[in-house]
Amino acid sequence: MKPKYFYCRLPLLILILGGTLAAQTTAFTYQGKLNDNGLAANGNFDLQFALFDAANGGNQIGATQFVPNVAVANGVFTVRLDFGAVFDGADRHLEIALKPAGSPNAYTTLAPRVAVTSTPYAIQSKNALTATSALSAADSARLGGVLAGSYVLTNDARMSDARPPLAGSPDYIQNTATPQSNSNFSISGDGTAGGTLQGGVVNAATQFNLGGARVFSVAGTNNTFLGPGSGQNNATGFSNTYAGANAGLTNAGGFQNSFFGANAGKLNTGSGNSFFGNSAGFVNSTGADNAFFGNNSGAGNTTGAGNTFAGAAAGLSNQSGDSNSFFGNGAGFLNTTGGFNTFLGNAAGQRNTTGSGNVFAGNFAGLSNTVEDNNTFLGGNSNGAAGITYGTALGAGALVSSSNTVVLGRGADNVRIPGTYNFSGDGTVNNLTVLGTLTANLPSGSNTYIQNSNLTGGSQNASLAITGGGVFGSNVSVAGAMSVAGNTSFLSNVLVTGSVSSATSLRTSLNQVITDTQATFNGPDGILATGTFGGGAVQNVGEGARFFWYPRKAAFRAGITSFLNEWDDANVGSYSVALGGYNKASSSGSMAFGTENFSTGDASFAAGAQNTASQTAAVAIGYGSVAAGPYAVALGLQANALGSSSIAIGYKTSADALESMAFGNWASTNQKKGAIVFGDASTGAYVNAAAENQFVVRAQNFWFGTNNTVAAPANQFISTSTGAYLSTGGSWVNSSSRALKTNFEAVDSRDVLRRVVRLPVLSWNYKAETNVRHIGPVAQDFYREFGLGSDDEHIGTIDSEGVALAAIKGLYEEIGDRDAKIAAQQTRAAEQQKIISAQQAEIKELKNGVSDLKTEVEALKKLLCADHPEADVCRKD
Q: Is residue 120 predicted with pLDDT exceeding 50?
A: yes
Exposure of 440 in the CB half-sphere (CA atoms within 13 A): 12
For 518, phi then psi, to 5°, come to -70, 135
**pLDDT given for residue 16 in this prediction:** 33
| Confidence band, pLDDT 50/70/90 cuts, at residue 35 | confident
- Examine the domain organization and report whether 111 and 83 are in the same domain: yes
153 contacts: CB under 8 Å, gap ≥ 6: 159
**pLDDT given for residue 2 in this prediction:** 43
**pLDDT given for residue 7 in this prediction:** 41
CA distance 484 to 276: 64
Contact predicate 643/658, CB 8 Å: yes
- Examine the domain organization and report whether 726 and 754 are in the same domain: no
**pLDDT given for residue 579 in this prediction:** 94
* SS3 of the chain: helix, strand, coil, percent, to 5: 15, 25, 60
Other CB atoms within 10 Å distance of the CB of residue 755: 18
- Examine the domain organization and report whether 42 and 109 are in the same domain: yes
Q: Amino acid identity, residue 489?
A: S
For 865, phi then psi, to 5°, come to -70, -25
Other CB atoms within 10 Å distance of the CB of residue 633: 23
CA distance 418 to 333: 40
CA distance 724 to 804: 20
Contact predicate 351/598, CB 8 Å: yes
Q: Is residue 476 predicted with pLDDT exceeding 60?
A: no
CA distance 123 to 135: 10
Residues of the chain with pLDDT > 70, as a percent, come to: 77
**pLDDT given for residue 213 in this prediction:** 75
| Confidence band, pLDDT 50/70/90 cuts, at residue 3 | very low
| Confidence band, pLDDT 50/70/90 cuts, at residue 679 | very high
At 767-798, the pLDDT tens digits run: 999 999 999 999 999 999 999 999 999 999 89
CA distance 213 to 210: 5
CA distance 113 to 96: 7
More confident residue, 352 or 124: 352
Q: Is residue 648 predicted with pLDDT exceeding 90?
A: yes
* Integer angstrom CA distances of residue 125 from 122, 134, 322: 6, 10, 89
The answer as to whether 481 is a domain residue is: yes
More confident residue, 176 or 576: 576
Q: Is residue 462 predicted with pLDDT exceeding 80?
A: no
Q: Is residue 862 predicted with pLDDT exceeding 80?
A: yes
**pLDDT given for residue 1 in this prediction:** 40
Q: Is residue 269 predicted with pLDDT exceeding 60?
A: yes
Q: Give the strand pairing for 258-260 and 241-243.
A: parallel
Other CB atoms within 10 Å distance of the CB of residue 346: 16
At 719-764, the pLDDT tens digits run: 888 888 888 888 888 888 898 899 999 999 999 999 999 999 999 9
Range from 506-515, 611-620, 863-872 that averages highest in pLDDT: 611-620
- Examine the domain organization and report whether 16 and 96 are in the same domain: yes
At 280-299, the pLDDT tens digits run: 889 888 999 999 999 998 88
Q: Amino acid identity, residue 375?
A: N
744 contacts: CB under 8 Å, gap ≥ 6: none
What's the CA dihedral at 373, 377, 383, 385 to 10 degrees? Answer: -40
Average pLDDT of the segment spanning 593-617? 95
Average pLDDT of the segment spanning 530-555? 81
HEC-encoded secondary structure of 315-331: CCCCCCCCCCEEECCCC
Output the DSSP codes for 425-467.
S----SS---SS-------TT-TTSPPP----SS---S-EEES
More confident residue, 304 or 159: 304
Residue whose C-alpha is closest to residue 698's, from 718, 675, 682, 684 = 682
Lowest mean pLDDT among 85-94, 106-115, 135-144, 526-535: 135-144
Q: Is residue 598 predicted with pLDDT exceeding 90?
A: yes
The answer as to whether 739 is a domain residue is: no
The answer as to whether 824 is a domain residue is: no
What H or E segment, with its residue span, contains residue 822?
Answer: helix 797-867
Select from 60, 87, 115 the last residue of a domain.
115
What H or E segment, with its residue span, contains residue 752?
Answer: helix 749-758
CA distance 706 to 709: 9
Q: Is residue 459 predicted with pLDDT exceeding 80?
A: no
**pLDDT given for residue 171 in this prediction:** 66
- Examine the domain organization and report whether 99 and 58 are in the same domain: yes
- Examine the domain organization and report whether 785 and 854 are in the same domain: no
Average pLDDT of the segment spanning 186-191? 71
**pLDDT given for residue 95 in this prediction:** 93
CA distance 229 to 238: 17
CA distance 864 to 557: 161
The packing angle between helices 779-786 and 749-758, to 10°, is 150
The answer as to whether 209 is a domain residue is: no
Output the DSSP codes for 501-528.
--SS-HHHH---EE-SS------TT---
Phi/psi region, residue 637 (left: phi>0; alpha: psi -120 to 50; beta: rest), is beta
CA distance 16 to 609: 107
Contact predicate 598/368, CB 8 Å: yes
Residue whose C-alpha is closest to residue 77's, from 8, 177, 140, 178 = 8
| Confidence band, pLDDT 50/70/90 cuts, at residue 504 | very low
More confident residue, 489 or 254: 254
CATH code of the domain in which 25 resides: 2.60.40
**pLDDT given for residue 507 in this prediction:** 33
* Integer angstrom CA distances of residue 416 from 338, 413, 655: 36, 10, 50
At 251-263, the pLDDT tens digits run: 989 999 999 999 9
Exposure of 376 in the CB half-sphere (CA atoms within 13 A): 9
Residue whose C-alpha is closest to residue 600's, from 353, 377, 364, 401 = 353
Question: Which three-class secondary structure state does DSSP give residue 64?
Answer: strand
Asked if the peptide bond before residue 228 counts as cis, ω within 30 degrees of 0, the response is no
Lowest mean pLDDT among 356-360, 428-432, 490-494, 799-803: 490-494
**pLDDT given for residue 70 in this prediction:** 93
| Confidence band, pLDDT 50/70/90 cuts, at residue 430 | low
Q: Is residue 428 predicted with pLDDT exceeding 70?
A: no
Contact predicate 329/314, CB 8 Å: yes
Residue whose C-alpha is closest to residue 364's, from 324, 400, 397 = 397
- Examine the domain organization and report whether 803 and 870 are in the same domain: no
**pLDDT given for residue 207 in this prediction:** 80
> How far is C-alpha 87 from the geometric centre of its chain's CA atoms?
74
| Confidence band, pLDDT 50/70/90 cuts, at residue 451 | very low
Host domain of residue 729: 703-734
Other CB atoms within 10 Å distance of the CB of residue 421: 8
558 contacts: CB under 8 Å, gap ≥ 6: 546, 547, 548, 578, 579, 580
| Confidence band, pLDDT 50/70/90 cuts, at residue 543 | confident
Burial class, 877, CB count within 10 angstroms (exposed 0-12 / middle 13-18 / buried 19+)? exposed
**pLDDT given for residue 851 in this prediction:** 87
The answer as to whether 123 is a domain residue is: no
- Examine the domain organization and report whether 27 and 68 are in the same domain: yes
Q: Amino acid identity, residue 261?
A: G
Residue 29 DSSP label: E
- Examine the domain organization and report whether 761 and 844 are in the same domain: no
**pLDDT given for residue 654 in this prediction:** 96
**pLDDT given for residue 136 in this prediction:** 59
Q: Is residue 4 predicted with pLDDT exceeding 50?
A: no
What H or E segment, with its residue span, contains residue 477?
Answer: strand 476-478
Other CB atoms within 10 Å distance of the CB of residue 644: 18
- Examine the domain organization and report whether 771 and 730 are in the same domain: no
| Confidence band, pLDDT 50/70/90 cuts, at residue 412 | confident
CA distance 527 to 862: 168
Q: What average pLDDT does the chain have? A: 81
193 contacts: CB under 8 Å, gap ≥ 6: none
Q: Is residue 379 predicted with pLDDT exceeding 70?
A: yes
The answer as to whether 866 is a domain residue is: yes
CA distance 367 to 818: 91
Q: Amino acid identity, residue 360?
A: F
For 482, phi then psi, to 5°, come to -130, 130
What H or E segment, with its residue span, contains residue 810?
Answer: helix 797-867
Asked if the peptide bond before residue 630 counts as cis, ω within 30 degrees of 0, the response is no
- Examine the domain organization and report whether 720 and 759 are in the same domain: no
Average pLDDT of the segment spanning 872-876? 78
The answer as to whether 110 is a domain residue is: yes
The answer as to whether 512 is a domain residue is: yes
What H or E segment, with its residue span, contains residue 780?
Answer: helix 779-786
The packing angle between helices 797-867 and 779-786, to 10°, is 70
Residues of the chain with pLDDT > 90, as a percent, come to: 46
CA distance 32 to 399: 103
For 281, phi then psi, to 5°, come to 60, 35
Angle of CA points 153, 159, 165, to nearest 5°: 145
Lowest mean pLDDT among 232-241, 414-423, 759-768: 414-423
Q: Which residues pair with 577 in a beta bridge?
A: 556, 591
Contact predicate 21/13, CB 8 Å: no
Average pLDDT of the segment spanning 3-31? 50
- Examine the domain organization and report whether 849 and 786 are in the same domain: no
Residue 38 DSSP label: T
**pLDDT given for residue 132 in this prediction:** 57
At 25-34, the pLDDT tens digits run: 788 888 888 8
**pLDDT given for residue 441 in this prediction:** 62
For the chain, how many structural domains are there in total?
5
Average pLDDT of the segment spanning 544-567? 86
Question: Which three-class secondary structure state does DSSP give residue 847?
Answer: helix
Q: Is residue 857 predicted with pLDDT exceeding 60?
A: yes
Burial class, 487, CB count within 10 angstroms (exposed 0-12 / middle 13-18 / buried 19+)? middle
For 791, phi then psi, to 5°, come to -160, 180
CA distance 829 to 392: 118
Q: Is residue 864 predicted with pLDDT exceeding 60?
A: yes
